[in-house]
Structure formats: structure tokens, C-alpha cells
């Protein structure tokens, strides 16, 4: 049954994963996502699932691979440096075609960085920190409710493509409290139902079929190329089927901001502020960061003066914005970094300066 | 006519790519014979990480997955938590388990994970071409230590069985060797016990198998057996380090 509650982001995210059918969770303490492993350690076993506190994020992601290759749904969470450690497993799971859902409650970097919110994992998430030709769909929620919905929906998406899916939510979303409507629990599937739906899952051959292998190693280059082309076909389907975005006042806007997650909420207020000063501004909010929603940029009115990538990172998304804009408009950048979050006034002021310079 | 020996159905009827004189073939067969005799073949999932034996899934007639270098114990932990009624094992070399995967094996043992590890110790990296492992003996030549391992530079070889035997969750730890028919029989007995420990839910079990690598040792298969006996066994003494009362 659906349930309305006031919840802290991280706890709501964990609950969404449980309701979505996550059976196994492997975690390691790292701020600002600690409420997730804590919640899972208390709650997951009540729903028949298992929680393991791994010895490292490296172990956690490999446990996730092991759990998920049996056909069971696995949820993983961490924060920026922890996600960096998981890249080996992410690349491996893409190669072996094992679905898991991962949540990055991102903070400021590089290195250990800080523990305040950041979006500087954009490149790590969308361009891949691991080796090889692979992609991971990345969803970027802007509220606790949207995070809950995207986590819940990501589980069947990962299963459908047999590929890891990432939710990139910054530390602000993890730590804030908001009212949230929790989705109903997905029906629990029996072992037999799981295996019928996922005939690739390992469960022992039971002396009834040939033994099966889940692998990542392809020593023959022609075989590896064929496998990579098979993966690329899936990525092409994702590019067609997954892009998701929200657009606001882009019809007659002088400025079009591009912002995701927490930053998009600040930009929304900056737009209201600019309006009081007689400047019309709109917003493209990518909900998928990979595939990047390029179609959204076709909706920008030709009279628009400037497109501004607005980030808690130094122009990481701007690379994709420039590629999507394809020379049609000037592209500028407003950012704070290292865990600093700008006020709406600050964004409005800097946007106004950029616009004046262009006029 | 009475059949006194046959090819175990635990092994697939294919030719392995292992080098002549390599003991992987013996170790594979022992593990598979034990699973067949225990009636576990159809309910087992194996994990083969990076190393020569990553290809063991071509030869062993059980469901298997590959794993990244050293991570097999984490992968096996995930499988075992998902499938509490199945049998799970990892088959790992010494570069894999004692070096890059040292953290994973220690913590799987520490949690008392209910799977069995077959640890193939041949004192060298095989697949990558004979580099020094944490288990390489003092004076033993390798491609990253052409004058032989020196204590001052690389420390003393790591004794994994002794190390793991200090961990409560590792309830069965035994070191065996494959250099003589008698030792092969003892190895099978130890592997059988390690799987019994898993079946009884008593904790984590590991069998360290002293093995040969004629190619990277630069010795003939026969000389390799002698080298193992004269050099490895004195430093890596055979025997049981931990065994629960229930399987003694």
C-alpha cells in the first residue's frame, strides 16, 4: 500500500529500494549516506532480505555482483570516493550483464574532498570511471520524492537491460527531510519465478541442464568485439528509450539554465528572482544524465541569448550541454564547488552579468 | 568386469589448456569428485577469479562465474547470502588470494562465510608469466626478481593457512600437497571435510594446495615435484590447522 510520511532522504531511499523488491544490500560506512546502511541493517531482514556490512566498497560491489548473478535484486549505495572504489565492479557487471541499482549520495571532491554536497561525480557517473566500452544509465532526482520514485523504477530498468543503473543524488537530498509518498511493495517472486524470468541466473544446474557460466573474460579479440557490439546495441536502445527531462519556460526565455538535482531547485528560485528584474529565464532539467536528453535542447527558442550550465562542479555537465547545443547558442557556466552551494540570489546575479555581457 | 576408475562426471569431457605437468588438473578433479560423491554437483556454484584457473569453468561441470582479480571471496559471499541452501566455492591462486585479494579472503573468513576456498599455492604468478607472488620463496627466481626473492626487498613469504587459522570464522584450515599419490589422497580428504563443514553450516573452510608450475619455475614436471617437496613443504608445512569436532 502507498504510504505518506515525512522522512529523511537517505532513509526514504533505502525504504524505496526495499519496496521496489531489493533482496540484498551490501554497504560500507561513508558520509553523507550512512543512514542507508543503518536503515538496511534494521529493516531489510524484516522483508526476508539480507544486509552485509562489507569490508570496503570494493568488496561491496563484488558482493553485489555475486548476489545479483543469482537473479536476486541487489541495491548498493555509497558516496563519491566509495563509488570511485566501485568502478572495477561496475565495469565488470556491465561486461557480465548483471543488473544492480546503485545510489551515489555525492559530495565534494577530488580525492577524499569533503562531506558537503557536490555534483563533481558527473563525469565519473556518465562517462564511466571503469575500463572499457560500457555505459550506465544515470538518473538525477531533484527531491526526496523523485529519488524514491526513480529508485523504485530503476529496479525493473536494470533487469530489463541486464545492466547496472545509477541514481546520482547529492548529499543535500540525502540529508534533507521532505514529505514523501512511498510506493507499495512489489510482489515477492519465488525462486522458481525469478529463474523463469532470468534464465541466465546461476542456481546450480540441478543435473537437469548444461552448466552455465557468467563471464567477463573473452581472450579472443573477435569474440570480445562481438560481445562489445552486443552491449552497444543495448546502449543504443537505452539512448532511444531512457532520456528523461523536465523543461520550464523555454519558449520565450532570454536565458536557459541547465541544471540537475539540488542545483535545479536553486535555479528555479533564481528564475523567479530574475523575473522580478524583467529578465525571462527558463530551465532544462536533465533527469537522465546518461543518456543525456539532447532532444530537450531542440525546444529552446531561437531568440534565446545564452544557455547556462549551472553546476556544483566546474563545467563537467557543460561538456554535454555544449554538445547538445551544437553551436546554436553561446554556452556559459555558473558553478560552486567543493561542497559550497550558491544562493538563488547569487545565481541570478551572475546570470544577469553573463546576459549583460552578451547583449 | 568391475570398473575401478572412471572419468568423473564432475569434469566436462574437454582437454584443458593447462601446461604439461601443472597440478591444476589434479586439483580440479579432486574438487569435482568430492562434489559428485556428496551429491552436490547440481547444487553448486563456483567462482573462478583471474589467474590460469579462471578457465576452470570450461572444465568443471558446475554453474560458475568469473570474478575480478582477488574478489572471489566477496562474490562468493554475495552468492551464498542470496542462495543459503546452495554450495559455493572459490578456486583461487596465490597471486589472487594472497596478494590482491588478501583483504577479501580475510574478511570472508572473519564473517565465517559459508563457502569453501580451494587455494592453489604454486609460489608464483602463472597466467601473467612468472612474476613474484607473496608466496614466492626466498631465493626463488621470478620475472620480477631475476636474482631470486630477497627478504630485505620483499619480506618473507606469506603463510596464508597459518594466518587464516588465527581467525575464529575460519573453522577448517588445512594445507595439502599434490606431489605424491599419498598426498593427493590426503588432499581429497581435506577437500571433502571442507565441504562437509560448509554443508553443516559451521563456518568458512579453506584448503591450501601446494602445487607446481613447471613452465614458470623453469623445471620439468618431475623436477617440479621434487622442488615442491624439497623447498615448499619445509617452509609451508603440511597438516591441519583448524578442524571442528564435528568433522574430525
Closest residue in B to A57 (Cα) is: B74
Class of domain B24-243: alpha beta
Q: How confident is the model at residue A2 (pLDDT cuts 50, 70, 90)?
A: confident
pLDDT in tens, B111-141: 999 999 999 999 999 999 999 999 999 999 9
Question: What is the average per-residue pLDDT within A42-49?
Answer: 96
pLDDT in tens, B31-50: 999 999 999 999 999 999 99
What's the CA gap between B165 and A342, in Å, rounded?
A: 55
Burial class (CB in 10 A: 0-12, 13-18, 19+), A18: buried
- Whether the per-residue pLDDT at A136 is higher than 90: the answer is yes
CATH superfamily ID and name for A3-191: Thiamin diphosphate (ThDP)-binding fold, Pyr/PP domains (3.40.50.970)
Q: How confident is the model at residue B147 (pLDDT cuts 50, 70, 90)?
A: very high
Question: What is the average per-residue pLDDT within B155-161?
Answer: 98
> What pLDDT is stored for residue A19 in this prediction?
98
For residue A235, the distance in angstroms to the closest alpha carbon of chain B comes to: 23
Q: How confident is the model at residue A169 (pLDDT cuts 50, 70, 90)?
A: very high
Domain span(s) for CATH 3.40.50.920 in chain A: 245-358
Question: What is the average per-residue pLDDT within A111-121?
Answer: 95
Report CB contact under 8 Å: A56, B79: no
What's the CA gap between A273 and A285, in Å, rounded?
A: 18
Q: Does A194 contact chain B (CB < 8 Å)?
A: no
> What pLDDT is stored for residue A89 in this prediction?
98
Question: What is the average per-residue pLDDT within B51-66?
Answer: 96
- Whether the per-residue pLDDT at B1 is higher than 90: the answer is no
* Architecture of the CATH domain A245-358: 3-Layer(aba) Sandwich (3.40)
Would you state the torsion angle of the CA atoms of residues A62, A63, A67, A70, taken in this order, to the nearest 10 degrees? 50
What's the CA gap between B9 and B29, in Å, rounded?
A: 10
> What pLDDT is stored for residue A160 in this prediction?
98
Q: Does B38 contact chain A (CB < 8 Å)?
A: no
What's the CA gap between B121 and B157, in Å, rounded?
A: 11
> What pLDDT is stored for residue B5 in this prediction?
86
Which of B50, B63, B76 comes nearest A212 by C-beta?
B63
Candidates A202, A206, A209, A227: best to mutate against B (most CBs of B within 10 A) is A202
- Whether the per-residue pLDDT at A282 is higher than 90: the answer is yes
- Whether the per-residue pLDDT at A215 is higher than 90: the answer is yes
> What pLDDT is stored for residue A1 in this prediction?
79
Q: What does DSSP assign to residue A293?
A: -
Q: What share of chain B is helix, strand, coil (3-state, %, to 5)?
A: 40, 20, 40
Contacts for B198 with CB less than 8 Å, ≥ 6 apart: B87, B88, B114, B115, B116, B205
Domain span(s) for CATH 3.40.50.970 in chain A: 3-191
Amino acid at each position: 500500500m502507498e504510504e505518506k510520511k515525512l522522512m529523511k532522504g537517505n532513509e526514504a531511499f533505502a525504504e524505496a529500494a526495499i519496496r521496489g523488491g531489493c533482496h540484498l544490500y551490501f554497504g560500507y560506512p561513508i558520509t553523507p549516506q550512512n543512514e542507508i546502511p543503518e536503515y538496511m541493517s534494521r529493516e531489510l531482514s524484516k522483508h526476508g532480505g539480507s544486509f552485509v556490512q562489507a569490508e570496503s566498497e570494493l568488496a561491496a560491489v563484488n558482493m553485489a555482483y555475486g548476489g545479483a548473478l543469482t537473479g536476486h535484486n541487489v541495491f548498493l549505495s555509497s558516496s563519491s570516493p566509495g563509488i570511485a572504489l566501485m568502478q572495477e565492479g561496475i565495469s565488470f557487471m556491465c561486461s557480465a550483464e548483471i543488473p544492480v541499482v546503485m545510489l551515489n549520495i555525492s559530495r565534494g571532491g577530488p580525492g577524499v574532498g569533503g562531506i558537503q554536497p557536490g555534483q563533481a561525480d558527473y563525469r565519473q557517473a556518465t562517462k564511466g570511471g571503469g575500463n572499457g566500452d560500457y555505459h550506465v544509465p544515470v538518473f538525477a532526482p531533484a527531491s526526496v520524492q523523485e529519488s524514491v520514485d526513480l529508485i523504485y523504477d530503476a529496479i525493473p530498468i536494470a533487469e530489463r537491460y541486464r545492466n547496472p543503473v545509477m541514481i546520482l543524488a547529492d548529499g543535500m537530498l540525502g540529508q534533507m527531510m521532505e514529505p514523501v509518498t512511498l510506493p507499495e511493495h512489489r510482489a515477492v517472486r519465488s525462486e522458481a519465478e525469478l529463474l523463469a524470468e532470468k534464465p541466465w541466473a546461476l542456481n546450480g544446474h540441478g543435473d537437469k541442464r548444461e552448466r552455465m557460466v557468467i563471464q567477463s573474460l573473452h581472450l579472443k579479440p573477435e569474440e570480445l568485439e562481438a560481445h562489445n557490439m552486443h552491449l552497444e546495441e543495448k546502449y543504443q536502445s537505452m539512448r532511444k528509450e531512457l532520456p528523461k527531462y523536465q523543461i520550464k519556460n523555454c519558449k520565450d526565455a532570454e536565458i536557459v539554465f541547465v541544471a540537475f538535482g539540488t542545483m535545479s531547485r536553486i535555479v528555479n528560485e533564481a528564475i523567479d528572482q530574475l523575473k522580478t528584474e524583467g529578465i525571462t529565464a527558463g530551465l532544462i532539467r536533465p533527469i537522465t544524465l546518461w543518456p543525456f536528453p539532447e532532444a530537450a535542447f531542440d525546444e529552446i527558442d531561437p531568440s534565446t541569448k545564452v544557455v547556462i550550465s549551472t553546476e556544483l562542479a566546474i563545467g563537467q555537465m557543460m561538456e554535454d550541454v555544449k554538445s547538445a547545443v551544437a553551436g546554436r547558442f553561446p554556452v556559459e557556466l555558473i558553478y560552486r564547488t567543493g561542497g559550497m552551494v550558491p544562493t538563488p540570489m547569487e545565481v541570478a546575479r551572475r546570470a544577469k552579468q553573463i546576459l549583460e555581457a552578451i547583449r | 568386469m568391475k570398473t575401478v576408475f572412471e572419468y568423473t562426471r564432475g569434469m566436462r569431457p574437454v582437454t584443458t589448456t593447462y601446461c604439461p605437468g601443472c597440478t591444476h588438473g589434479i586439483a580440479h578433479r579432486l574438487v569435482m569428485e568430492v562434489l559428485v560423491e556428496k551429491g552436490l554437483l547440481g547444487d553448486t556454484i563456483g567462482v573462478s577469479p583471474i589467474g590460469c584457473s579462471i578457465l576452470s569453468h570450461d572444465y568443471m561441470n558446475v554453474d560458475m562465474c568469473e570474478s575480478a582479480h582477488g574478489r572471489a571471496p566477496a562474490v562468493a559471499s554475495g552468492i551464498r547470502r542470496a542462495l543459503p541452501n546452495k554450495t559455493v566455492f572459490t578456486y583461487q591462486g596465490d597471486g589472487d588470494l594472497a596478494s590482491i585479494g588478501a583483504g577479501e579472503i580475510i574478511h570472508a573468513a572473519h564473517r565465517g562465510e559459508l563457502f569453501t576456498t580451494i587455494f592453489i599455492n604454486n609460489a608464483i604468478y602463472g597466467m601473467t608469466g612468472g612474476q613474484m607472488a607473496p608466496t614466492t620463496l626466498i631465493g626463488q627466481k621470478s620475472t620480477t626478481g631475476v636474482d631470486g626473492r630477497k627478504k630485505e626487498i620483499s619480506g618473507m613469504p606469506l603463510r596464508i593457512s597459518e594466518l587464516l587459522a588465527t581467525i575464529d570464522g575460519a573453522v577448517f584450515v588445512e594445507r595439502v600437497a599434490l606431489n605424491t599419490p599419498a598426498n593427493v589422497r590426503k588432499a581429497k580428504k581435506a577437500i571433502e571435510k571442507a565441504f562437509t563443514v560448509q554443508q553443516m553450516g559451521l563456518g568458512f573452510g579453506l584448503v591450501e594446495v601446494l602445487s607446481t608450475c613447471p613452465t614458470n619455475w623453469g623445471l620439468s614436471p618431475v623436477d617440479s615435484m621434487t622442488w615442491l617437496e624439497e623447498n615448499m613443504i619445509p617452509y609451508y608445512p603440511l597438516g591441519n590447522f583448524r578442524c571442528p569436532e564435528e568433522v574430525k
